[in-house]
A = this chain, B = another copy of it.
């Protein structure tokens, strides 16, 4: 299986370009919780997800986190190769949320082809525009959505991702996604319990009234 065909632009690349990519791409495994890319310290390369799940987030000076976006099967992580573009002036951290298998394309190899291939450069543009859109959506959420809506939305998204109504996640991890202190998450979850929307047990959250949780999210 040639996972490079996940790049929708694959057939528009020249034979030599395809060969260079095939020879340089490396299949790697990352265990759940592993940091794949650490801000400006690394230029890991482009990561093409074969299976698993990644989280891209930023960290404040005092260690707080907020999730910018997540990546799933067949997604491409561009910002783990941020060194290919001079104008990317921020540090992003990428971690594996599940055991993940991925193809890593070295940044300099990708860059050398992108510089001469209009199809690959335009494809890269589309990937970046898509992540950019995620981040503008996040600003809209942070600025204008109340915390109960954001939390309800997060729980429903998680349930959709996992395909299950019982989520194995700590209040602290939710806080790190939403950029909120753990106590704020706990307080709101307790309110959701009192409204009969969820049930809590050690390290678990069960959605018991999806209909009304969805109504809050919307």
Contact = CB atoms under 8 A, between A and B. Distances in A.
Contact of A128 (B60, B125, B138, B140): B125
B126 A125 contact: no
Given A114-B122, A122-B114, A135-B139, A144 B60 contact: yes
For the residues of A in contact with B, the DSSP-based class is helix
Interface stretch (A86-94, A97-105, A188-196): A86-94
A42 B87 CA distance: 27
Interface stretch (A25-33, A61-69, A150-158, A159-167): A61-69
* Of listed A60, A122, A133, residue having the most chain B CB within 10 A: A122
A136 B58 contact: yes
A23 interface: no
A130 interface: yes
A87 to B, nearest CB: 4
A143 interface: yes
B87 A139 contact: no
B135 A85 contact: no
Given A60-B143, A132-B88, A115 B126 contact: no
7 contacts: A86-B129, A88-B129, A89-B133, A115-B122, A121-B124, A128-B129, A139-B142
Contacts of A139: 58, 66, 68, 135, 138-139, 142
B90 A136 contact: yes
Given A114-B122, A118-B118, A121-B125, A144 B61 contact: yes
B137 A90 contact: yes
A179 interface: yes
Given A116-B118, A117-B118, A122-B115, A88 B133 contact: yes
Nearest to A61: B144
A21 interface: no
